[in-house]
Every structure is written in C-alpha cells, then in structure tokens.
Amino acid sequence: MTTHDNDAFKPIATVDLAIFSLTPAGLSVLLVRRTSAPFAGDWALPGGWIHIDEDADLEAAARRVLKEKTGVETPYLEQLQTTGNRDRDPRGWSISIVYIALLSADDVAERQDAMAEEAEWRPIEGEGVGLSLAFDHAALLKEALGRIRSKVEYSSLPGHLLPVRFTLSELQSVYESLLGRKLDKSAFRKRMAEADFLEPVEGEMRRASNRPAQVFRLKDTRSLVLFDRRI
C-alpha cells in the first residue's frame, strides 16, 4: 500500500482478484493471509489499492496485483463486478472492483517460487472454501464461482485452466470437473467443432501407451461465446 502524492486521489478503490486454477484437489482459489488491520490474520482474496500513477487502467491494476502474488504475467482476466458501500470495510465507504483470473496448472507449477509466501491455494467446496473470509470476500467468491460455472455451459472459459496445448479428452475432463457430471465424448467433440473455439496444432499429437491424440489450442485469449438460437 503506497502513499500517493497526487492530492486528487485518496485511494478508496481496490482491485480484488478471484484467482482460480486446477490443483489435484480440483478447482482452487488463491487466498492470502492478511497481515494488518482490519481483519488481520484472516484469509482474503488478493487485492490492492489502485495506483493512478502506475496503473494505466483497472485491468492493468489487476494484472499488477496478480504479478505481485503469483509471478504470472499473462493470465486470463475477466471483470466480474464492482461493490461499494459503507459496510464492507470497517474504515468506511469503499469500492472494490473484482476480477476473475484463471491460471493454467503449469503456470502455477512453474512459478511456485515467485508465489507470495502468505498465499495459498484452497480447493473449492460447494459455493466457497469452507473458511470465513475478510471483508465481503466470501460473497465475492460466491459470485465468481457462479460466473465461472455459468460460463462453462456456453463458452471456452474452461480452456483457460489448461496449458496452451491440450487434447480434447483433457479439455473434456475440465468441463466435467467444473460441471460436476460426465459428458458424452461424441457430443462434446461435435459441440467443440461447432463452437469453433479450438484450433488443431498441425501434426502435433499427444502420445502415451495408446492411440495418440490430436493436440489443440484455443483460438483466442478471450473466452469465446457460443451463440445458439434459443427462442
């Protein structure tokens, strides 16, 4: 938390991040332990004040916080929502702009060293982490989970939890893990083809002690949406 010379901006707005990744325990969120009041000692979503002298925009602020906590520079990032009221922080009126970030499993593995010491991955159980969180962060986390689970149904979002290159089966496993149910292989394949989220990596196959699988990558760094005529 830096002090600002710029008199025009008393920091009152923070950027908070719900950073998700797939760990062996399933979908997990990164939490940090607060070191100062209020809520000292409690777990919280990583966040920080906006620095109007450093941050070009809100997304840049979110990237900076992410970099500080995890070392990752190019995550999937999506704005979730903004809350502001006088109750969420005992110090008074404050605004929090919440972002969702998705990290791939190898992002997490590679940067284990860069990760902030007081930070920890916590597996998701139901609508939260089974832990009381600082501020209104439990509610923010619940919203973030709702967004993620809803976007599984109609977007390429789950692909951002995998490394850049993956097979269809690996992707299907992520969808299944987020949805909490098994999917039909042939239907999944057809849906992905129609949705046009994926690009085969020419000539590259994943080989194991069985038939090799085509390797794919996402066509876009954003989460693409599948449009259907519903009405």
Partner DNA sequence: CGGCCTTAGTGTAAATATTCAACTAAGTTA
Partner DNA sequence: TAACTTAGTTGAATATTTACACTAAGGCCG
Supply angle C-alpha 207, 159, 72, rounded to 5. 100
Residue with Cβ nearer a copy of itself (181 or 211):
181
The minimum distance between CB 149 and a copy of itself, in angstroms, equals 10
Q: Determine if 1 is a binding residue for a copy of itself (CB under 8 A).
A: no
| Position among 212, 220, 221, 225 found at the interface with DNA (CB under 7 A) | 212
Selecting among 110, 118, 125, 194, the annotated active-site residue is 118
- Long-range CB contacts (< 8 A, 24+ apart) of 202-206? 204/165, 206/167
By CB under 7 A, residue 209 contacts DNA: yes
Q: What does the alpha-carbon distance between residue 126 and residue 129 come to, in Å, rounded to a whole number?
A: 8
Whole-angstrom distance, CA of residue 131 vs CA of residue 138? 8
Task: Pick the binder of DNA from 3, 180, 207, 227 (CB under 7 A).
Answer: 207
Which span (29-37, 116-124, 147-155, 183-191) binds DNA, by CB under 7 A? 183-191
Q: Are 165 and 41 in contact (CB under 8 A)?
A: no
When asked if residue 214 is in the footprint of DNA (CB under 7 A), the reply is: yes
Contacts 24+ apart (CB under 8 A), 73-80: 74/221, 75/19, 75/101, 75/102, 75/103, 75/107, 76/101, 76/102, 76/103, 76/157, 76/160, 76/221, 76/222, 76/223, 77/101, 78/147, 78/223, 80/18, 80/140, 80/143, 80/144, 80/147
The interface with a copy of itself within residues 30-59 (CB under 8 A) comprises 50, 52, 56-58
Among 18, 30, 66, 97, binds a copy of itself (CB under 8 A): 97
Tell me how far, at minimum, the Cβ of 83 lies from a copy of itself, in Å: 7
> Which of 3, 5, 8, 126 is the binder for a copy of itself (CB under 8 A)?
8
Residue 1 binding result from a copy of itself, DNA, none, given CB thresholds of 5 to 8 Å by partner type = none
Cβ distance 142 to 29 under 8 Å? no
Among 188, 189, 213, 222, binds a copy of itself (CB under 8 A): 188
> Catalytic annotation on 204?
no
Binding residues for DNA restricted to 185-204, rule: CB under 7 A: 185-187, 189-190
The residues assigned a catalytic role are 118
